Amino acid sequence: MIVSCPSCATRYLIDPTALGGEGRTVRCAKCSHTWHEQPPADMPKRVDILPPNGEPRPIPFGSNLPAIVARRRRANRLGWLAVALAVIIIVVGGILARGPIVDAWPPAGKLYAAIGLGAEKLDTTDLKFRNIAQGQVVEGGVPILVISGRIFNEADDSRAVPPVRIGLLDAADVELRHWTFAAEQNELQAKSYTQFKTRLISPPKGAVSLRIGFAGDEAN
């Protein structure tokens, strides 16, 4: 540090530790003036290191585990919540889509019925298929079966139109392929009709006829 003589302003570079913790009296080498110089305020203080009181004791086993356990518990809770959410999504999806599921795999209808979730049966008695037309086109070298027609409501009131189901049959009336789709309207007023059109890419070989109905009627 640099100190200056209050009398002649001569400056000196000294080691601040030479002043001690309380300061000391110094003398100017030029004018012999003496004064009490305080140590700088930021000079490190002397700290006496006392010997340890007895032997050091080890940290008790498990004393640092609660925080880790808490994190693991939070992670486990999040994992179980994710599993529960996935199960709920699967169950709800299975309930809402039970119609297409039963249509794709008819034995599933018995499972739904066993738990009281049988698909609601719509009255299709007065819904009639007419003007059925079918043909085959080739796009990019791939054959495509095109089927179109109309659905008439012959009732005196409105009727809901369920999904249409088409099955392709071989010469022995064995179903080779089937699929479902929605008509242009899902509800028909009395004495009205709606149209439908569907396409099947690469129809199975050996199909010689088709069966048209509504999804769920094949269970009867």
The pLDDT tens digits for 169-187 are 999 999 999 999 999 998 9
Percent of the chain with pLDDT over 70: 71
On whether both 135 and 186 belong to a single domain, the answer is yes
On whether both 207 and 137 belong to a single domain, the answer is yes
Instruction: Give the three-state DSSP class for 157.
Output: coil
Tell me the residue range of the domain where 99 lies.
80-120
Distance (Å, rounded) from C-alpha 171 to C-alpha 177?
A: 13
Q: Read off the pLDDT of each residue in 25-53 and give the average, rounded to a whole number.
A: 75
On whether both 113 and 143 belong to a single domain, the answer is no
State the DSSP code for 202: S
Distance linking the first and last C-alpha atoms of the chain:
105
What is the overall mean pLDDT for the chain?
80
Q: How many CB atoms lie within 10 A of CB 153?
A: 23
pLDDT at residue 194 greater than cutoff 60 = yes
**Token code pair at residue 80:** 């179980």
CATH number of the domain encompassing residue 139: 2.60.40.10
Q: How many residues does the chain have?
A: 220
In a domain, 64, yes or no: no
On whether both 24 and 104 belong to a single domain, the answer is no
Find, among 136, 145, 197, the residue nearest to 168 by Cα.
145
> Strands 164-169 and 193-201, how do they pair?
unpaired
Question: Do 127 and 101 form a contact (C-beta atoms < 8 A)?
Answer: no
Distance (Å, rounded) from C-alpha 35 to C-alpha 5?
A: 8
On whether both 209 and 147 belong to a single domain, the answer is yes
pLDDT at position 28: 86
Kindly give, in sequence order, each residue whose CB lies less than 8 Å from that of residue 199, ignoring residues fewer than 6 positions away: 144, 145, 146, 147
On whether both 132 and 203 belong to a single domain, the answer is yes
Ranges 29-33, 69-73, 196-200, 214-218: which has the least confidence: 69-73
On whether both 88 and 165 belong to a single domain, the answer is no
DSSP 92-119: HHHHHTHHHHHHHSTTHHHHHHHTT-PP
What amino acid occupies position 198?
A: T
In a domain, 21, yes or no: yes
Please state, in angstroms and as integers, the Cα–Cα distance from residue 106 to each residue in 101, 123, 198, following that order: 8, 19, 22
On whether both 132 and 207 belong to a single domain, the answer is yes
On whether both 143 and 174 belong to a single domain, the answer is yes
pLDDT at residue 121 greater than cutoff 60 = yes
Q: How confident is the model at residue 126 (pLDDT cuts 50, 70, 90)?
A: very high
On whether both 211 and 181 belong to a single domain, the answer is yes
Q: How confident is the model at residue 45 (pLDDT cuts 50, 70, 90)?
A: low
On whether both 87 and 135 belong to a single domain, the answer is no
On whether both 213 and 155 belong to a single domain, the answer is yes
pLDDT at position 40: 78
Question: Do 184 and 133 form a contact (C-beta atoms < 8 A)?
Answer: no
Structurally, how many domains does the chain consist of? 3
DSSP 117-139: -PPPPP--TTEEEEEEEEEEEEE
Q: What does pTM read for this prediction?
A: 0.48
Q: Read off the pLDDT of each residue in 15-31 and give the average, rounded to a whole number.
A: 80
pLDDT at position 197: 96
Residue listed under structure tokens 């086109």: 137
| Interval 48-99: pLDDT, tens | 555 566 555 565 555 554 444 455 666 677 888 888 888 888 877 776 666 6
